[in-house]
Amino acid sequence: MAATYVGVGAFLNSTAGGNVAWPATVNRGDMAVMWVINKHPPNGPSTPSGWTLGLQQSGGAGASAADLGLLYCTTFWKITSGSEGGGTQAITITSGNSSIAFISVFRSGKGGWMNPWFTGGADNTGGSTTVTITGSENIFITTGDYVYAVAGLNTDAFTLPSAQIAATGATLSNAGANNTTTGLGNDCMLCLRRYDCTAGVSSAAPVFTLTMSGSGTDVPTGPGIIVRLRDCPLQQVDMMGAGYL
């Protein structure tokens, strides 16, 4: 039985955090990944109780101002208890300025999950409509894996006509997309893409490429994170210490 994508809760647009919505239905043992992009470093989100920090990347360009500056892209993950569905998760961004957050949930078809593997990078050079975020390492994406990427951009002044993930050696099939912006504080944009790996094994770090409708001296720029989610039999998960509940 194949793993399934359960869904995503409503996006939270805020300045300093708040309550992030869970999808309506969550089962015990699901894999949850929470994403937060926010301005401006060094004020990042605190790790909520019960969650594990996956990775945090910073990037961007220009002084801290509207449609300019640095921002964080941060991920947290957990194996769910089953009681979360329809509820919210509080996050805190001390002295935050502008942020977008959401929770996505996946359900195992084999009994458990390996620890997620995160990689990330940043594009800190403006003046181009192409934003390229290259992971820092090969995360060995293979058939049956889910690949999820989120980028945070330091402006909401442009639209995002297209974005895609590529990983040399692996065949990735687009399984979902969403773009959202916030005009709160100094503005930012979140881009997410979700892919299934249908063949092969990656031999290089994944690359997340975004094509924007316009550009400026320090925009669009920002960080991004790509995660590999692997569904595994429960016995294999236990041996690898993936923390299945």
**Share above pLDDT 70 across residues of the chain, in percent, rounded to a whole number:** 95
Q: What is the pLDDT of residue 239?
A: 41
Residue 125 has pLDDT above 60, yes or no: yes
Q: What is the pTM of this model?
A: 0.94
pLDDT, tens digit, 9 for 90 and up, residues 207-232: 999 999 999 999 999 999 999 999 99
In our burial notation (b when 16+ CB lie closer than 10 A, e otherwise), range 151-170 reads bbbbbbbbebeebebebeeb
Tell me how far apart the alpha carbons of residues 195 and 14 are, in angstroms, rounded to a whole number. 28
Residue 236 has pLDDT above 90, yes or no: no
Question: Cα 14 to chain center, whole Å?
Answer: 17
Tell me how far apart the alpha carbons of residues 74 and 153 are, in angstroms, rounded to a whole number. 13
Residue 238 has pLDDT above 60, yes or no: no
Residue 240 has pLDDT above 80, yes or no: no
Q: What is the pLDDT of residue 234?
A: 72
pLDDT, tens digit, 9 for 90 and up, residues 142-174: 999 999 999 999 999 999 999 999 999 999 999
Q: Burial, 61: exposed, middle or buried (Cβ in 10 Å; 0-12, 13-18, 19+)?
A: buried
Tell me how far apart the alpha carbons of residues 175 and 172 are, in angstroms, rounded to a whole number. 9
